[in-house]
Chain A
Amino acid sequence: MNSMNNGMGPVEHGTRNLLIQARLKRRYFTEKVFQLLGILAIVTAMAMLGVLFVTIIGKGYRAFQQTFIRLEVFFDRVEIDPLGTGERDVLSRADYGLLVKNAMRDVFPYVTERREKRELYAVVSSGAAFQLREMVMSDPGIIGSRQAVWVLADDDVDMYIKGVFEEGGGRLSERQVLWVQDLMSRGDLRKRLNTAFFTKGDSREPELAGIGGAVVGSLYTMTVTLLLSFPLGVATAVYLEEFAPRNFFTDIIEVNINNLAAVPSIVFGLLGLAVYLNFFGLPRSAPLVGGLVLTLMTLPTIIIASRASLQAVPPSIRQGALGVGASQMQSVLHHVLPLALPGMLTGTIIGMARALGETAPLLMIGMVAFIVDIPAGIMDKATVLPVQIYLWADSPERAFLERTSAAIIVLLAFLLLMNGLAVVLRKKFEQRW
């Protein structure tokens, strides 16, 4: 038996080795496959993100440039202020469209037929008249003089110049295409940086529409949200984590907070409609109400993040403080809170970034609206960036397509900035124990 065993030993050993090696190979192989799948997942995600960025930026970058036409405008005293009173009321009510039309006719004097003239005037944006009015209002001295003015071209001309139309002149007539080409060859039609896109409010004329109003609205809304949700969130987290007794009641509160974080945002909008508008009678479409609703939405996120960062502070720090005679509150305020604050800030910023991109809850409280004037305060009517994107995406004019993408680029830039800030704060103040 013994000798047989000895005889069999190496053979058995050899087969076992082979078995082990085979299994090991299989295990390495499955691990490789697993890693490969992981990489594949990342690549797919990155590819999709890449497609998103490429399409959005590919469409959106065009909106940062706008087509302008150079016109020799004669600020005719007879048309603007025939009596020479110089009163602002008279100046503001004058027909500046006529000045634009006269200037266009000077460029193409052979256009006389009525239908043709209408087509000619349509090459220039209706915003040109307002631009001339602003010029006169800010400096009445130019009345009677002849000035070279770069005015906005119509959105159809702009689309044609940017090559958006698939065939020929798109919505432009053959005559209009000829005029545009004529202007271009003279150097009187050019693409220039579109600063109005960042400063102006919404408009139904794509060439006049800007995100200025929406950005200011977002700013007010976010300020209200931050002012309310950060102190409330941090106070709640500190009390629940450091002071509150563990009992049935606090357990219920905890479950509710965690649940609230997962509630769809539209529900908060409905709540806002019922409570703030119908019960308290706050005005519709105001950033204040928007901020209040978004506060409800971000509070759970902030509370949960703040509690997590309080939990991450080692108990030894609290015990040390208590050991040298600090009160419970002193230990929290002087030692625990400063250490937990970076984490809390990160949570807050991420919550705010989510709130910045939210439209659904605002639909219910009337912030999804056409608003031209730039809001003057938290009680004024306002809209926010994502809502502006939503409204433009639904507009029939082709030129709104690129504006939609451009507004998305701006929103993404803000989000990137906020999330970047969160990363920087974490890296800078993070404590490791």
Chain B
Amino acid sequence: MIFDWQPVWLTLKLAGVSTLILLVIGTPIAWWLARSTTWYKQIISAVVALPLVLPPTVLGFYLLIMLGPEGPVGRLTQSLGLGTLPFTFGGLVVASVIYSMPFVVQPLQNAFQSLGQRPVEVASTLRASPWDRFMTVVIPLARPGFLTAAVLSFAHTIGEFGVVLMIGGNIPGVTKVLSVAIYDHVETLEYGQAHLLAAGLLAFSFAVLLTLYLLNGRLNRNHQP
């Protein structure tokens, strides 16, 4: 029995890239949601939280249409000479980012809200510009939130299946990630291979979450005023 590592690497790459992108775009969204008092804030909150309740196939279906050759995003990417995103690694990344968005935005938003106004106000009376106070006060104080966000989005991306199948299909080395590979093995009755991947994923997920809880426990102790 030859173990096929390709889906494992592909999955880790997808989770890593998606998490990085999510932290970059999720942070400003979470900051805005934590601070804003406008009426349409709740609408944005609801949109960000949608992937929590939607069946992944619904999300995948609309993404497929949007990103496809006839969809608005598809037309745009084609006119830019980028081709279309479905059934490519890039397409998977786009889908993962949207699918895992709430797992980044919500912990960050909570962390920012529990921070309160005061530390930021203190920093501004000590001559720190908005960007400066964000980097030197908000991020260090919200560290447990960033850790939770990163781990959850990484783990959640590893576990996604429906969206991947809809938008990425099952192309070895391009879009065939772990969850799809397991499904494949079961379909072809290769239970041994399926077991190996499934057990590996189970152990990995447990280890990740355990590490997260241990780290957060330590951080919270250190931050007691």
Q: Do A and B come from the same complex?
A: no
Q: Give chain A's interface residues, CB within 8 Å of chain B.
A: none
Taking Cβ atoms with an 8 Å cutoff, the residues of B that contact A are none
